[in-house]
Chain A
Amino acid sequence: MTAKGILVPSAIAAKDVDAWNRSGVCATAIENGMIMSFSAKSATAGEAEVWTAAVPASGAGLIGLWMAYEPEVVVTNAQYKGLDPDIRNFEVPIGDIFSAFKVQVGDIITVNAEALAGSINTYAVATNAAWKLTWAAAAVSGVTFILRDTVYFSLADGSIGTQRITAYELECIAIS
């Protein structure tokens, strides 16, 4: 199985502001750390307060985006929850409701390499038609993070040994 994105919201404003947290749903499987816009509410019965996630678009579509962050309860064989301790196997299935927060300048997050597209660079930016932040050499007019540090995640994979994977600490420096 391909490892999925992992997000640790190290210090984010949305932890203290209710209005910067929403529930989303999407026609695409969503990984933690993916970014999106919420332009309309879901039309599905029972989802009156759920927003439909859309992939970032060019221009103004890179502004004011939201980031997926759902507790990593892995579903095994599409039915068993909690059997798999490796959070790299977690993603939100199509049509399932997930949590997202509105990114703010100054937010610090830590993500693994799988949460980012491209090759490591100085910035991670919102890009047209890309769910994941993309490594870039410069900031953009839209959601932009700057690389602050290279760190590690210690993960549980069910084996006796420990496991560390490379992760990146990023700070949001622009949202528009």
Chain B
Amino acid sequence: MAYSVLIQDLVVAKDIDSLNRSAVSASAYENGAVGYFSGKSATAGEAEVWTMVAPATAHLFDLWMVYEPEVVLTNSQYKGLDPDIRNFINPAGEIFSVYKPQLGDLITLTADGITGTKGANTFITATDADPFLNWNTAVVSGLSYKLVETRYLSLATGAIDTQRVTAYQFECVALA
């Protein structure tokens, strides 16, 4: 199964430390998924780690987006053997990096990071109980991105040939 791939083309959080945090979740989280913080982790040694949960109807704002370097774990023990970043996911209970989206952010996501079908939709938005942004026809009162263009990511699969997968560039147009 291919997991979501996120490229931070131009995001404000790259230049502002306070828009970056460490998080942990009871669920596995893919890059590009979003959630909010229910509080800090109660686990020993995680004093500066926040507990992330999926967006809720009353909490489609103040969301954070997962972005962790894609070091794939093979057979639950070997890191760095698999060059295909589509196999990367943050396992439940492991600490990962998140950033707070800001208006004007430009990101590129693969289709695996978006729920629903593109069709004629030109927005992706936060949705109740879904860590993935959903294709939508319009912005919502919450985190929303506007489709800028369809493009490609060139990925390494470990094979001799090259491989391109369809991806979409989005601009953040609403936070709340």
Contact = CB atoms under 8 A, between A and B. Distances in A.
- Chain A partners chain B: yes
A17 B14 CA distance: 8
A86 B105 CA distance: 36
Interface in B12-40: 12, 14-16
A83 interface: no
A8 to B, nearest CB: 22
B105 A19 contact: yes
A160 B14 CA distance: 47
Contacts of B173: 64
B104 A19 contact: yes
Contacts of B105: 19
Given A41-B148, A41-B149, A17 B15 contact: yes
B125 to A, nearest CB: 16
A19 B102 contact: yes
Interface in B135-161: 148-149
B109 interface: no
A64 B104 contact: yes
Contact of B103 (A16, A41, A64): A64
Contacts of A41: 148-149
A19 B12 CA distance: 5
B172 to A, nearest CB: 10
Given A16-B15, A102-B103, A102-B104, 19 more contacts: A17-B12, A17-B15, A17-B16, A18-B14, A18-B15, A19-B10, A19-B14, A19-B15, A19-B102, A19-B104, A19-B105, A19-B106, A20-B104, A40-B148, A41-B148, A41-B149, A64-B103, A64-B104, A64-B173
Interface of B: 10-12, 14-16, 102-106, 148-149, 173
17 contacts: A16-B15, A17-B15, A17-B16, A18-B10, A18-B15, A19-B10, A19-B11, A19-B12, A19-B14, A19-B15, A19-B102, A19-B106, A64-B103, A64-B104, A64-B173, A102-B103, A102-B104
